[in-house]
Chain A
């Protein structure tokens, strides 16, 4: 279990998630490490990002922002692309959760695209 996995879990699923402000760059750095190499732990965590995470991040203003989409959706977007690259078949159902045709956003568009193969 790496520090990056712990950091990301803490930011998304801990009791302080959604309360404690964190730097966006820190969260990005964590998910960058989590996605840097395929492992069961990384797959499970990214899968959870798609299936279980319903929260809202609290971010430090100074550390940059997401512009085109909410930061939560950018994390999901990274998870969608990473899991599709690692094992599309194994994560198809989780990706499908974000591929509803009624979604007119970047995450929905990319999720539908990766499912089309």
Chain B
């Protein structure tokens, strides 16, 4: 059997670039990216000659290493110096390598490092690398490759905070590493280019997230399902917003405020549901079927005029004596205060003062009046009405949900009270707060 031929002085005219890997096993600098369609990590090598070209992502200021493989004469070995030039952006430092080509003509991986560190700010680079070798002082082209490099502000937050449980299972050499879904990091590096602080990044996210086309009111409650289905309900949106912020290392909190429908069957119930007229992101009308409402928008509630109308609104229902549905939002700590982000219904953050974030682990009811300016700055604008069972001018407006009588599929609204009027009437609203 002939031994592999070593041709250290010959020009490697038959050698060409075969692949470039970024997030290869053992490289902890590269951010792990996941495909929402498959829930698998983006395959490495990310770039393959005449094949795949997937992005790579790093934290700003990183000086990445890559692994390249080459094609050449099967069974041969060659000593060379290899590198890559880029226009624009960093190329790859010239590196001495010995390439041994197997029977199919593939070499093992060669580690190369970028010539300089990546930019110090959130950015997206389009690198075009012209690969070359130097043997005996003679330069030879090895081909070219193109790469999308996403540069983030800070390391990813832990996906366990927002991802569905249980987490996807990764190969042993990638297990336990933090990851994000590729579309999320692509979007935020675009929206937050050059931004340096958490609030500015969250503001950019909530202002731009509608450009993704994702909608409110799609039957999805996880980030992955939202990306695949084209949107979700608020239980998905507050995860998505947290995941988006997390791509830039920004930690935000998730909270749900859940309707507190007192147990029993009295004719007076405060409250059964929150009622939202806002159609939600990228919607023109709430998708919930129309229902008949009895609106009260003045105090005193016992005597005010009641307007009956049939229309489309969202109802976020409680259940008597139990914790059930509600609305989900995000919070960012900002100095001594909090910024509220409700990406389902708003395109901007809302500064809160005098607000203490309720525990997410031990749901208890909290009176809205005790939560600083949450009521006036956010809640009255987000939730148009509270639905309850109340007396008005001798008529009992009783909410029935679910309908009595077993499986008859209907719901009857009691009185829908304009949120501000609840407080004008001397009443209040309490919610359970949870993650």
Contact = CB atoms under 8 A, between A and B. Distances in A.
Given A25-B409, A29-B403, A32-B319, A102 B289 contact: no
Which secondary structure dominates chain A's binding surface? helix
B165 A108 contact: yes
A18 interface: no
Nearest to A71: B219
A62 B217 CA distance: 12
A104 interface: yes
A105 B233 CA distance: 14
Contacts of A82: 322
Contacts of B160: 102, 104
Interface string B209-224: 0000000010101000
Nearest to B276: A67
Contact of B402 (A28, A73, A81, A113): A28
Interface stretch (B12-20, B42-50, B107-115, B357-365): B357-365
A77 B254 CA distance: 19
A64 B324 contact: no
A39 B402 CA distance: 21
Contact of A67 (B319, B328, B362, B434): B328
Nearest to B254: A104
A68 interface: yes
25 contacts: A3-B407, A25-B401, A26-B407, A26-B409, A29-B402, A29-B403, A29-B406, A33-B406, A62-B289, A66-B325, A67-B314, A68-B234, A68-B256, A68-B258, A68-B326, A68-B327, A69-B235, A70-B221, A74-B324, A104-B435, A105-B435, A106-B235, A108-B435, A110-B363, A110-B434
Interface of B: 160-162, 165-167, 217, 219, 221, 233-235, 254, 256, 258, 287-289, 314-317, 319, 322-328, 360-363, 401-411, 434-435
Interface of A: 2-4, 7, 23, 25-26, 28-30, 32-33, 59-70, 73-74, 77-78, 81-82, 100, 102-106, 108-110, 112-113
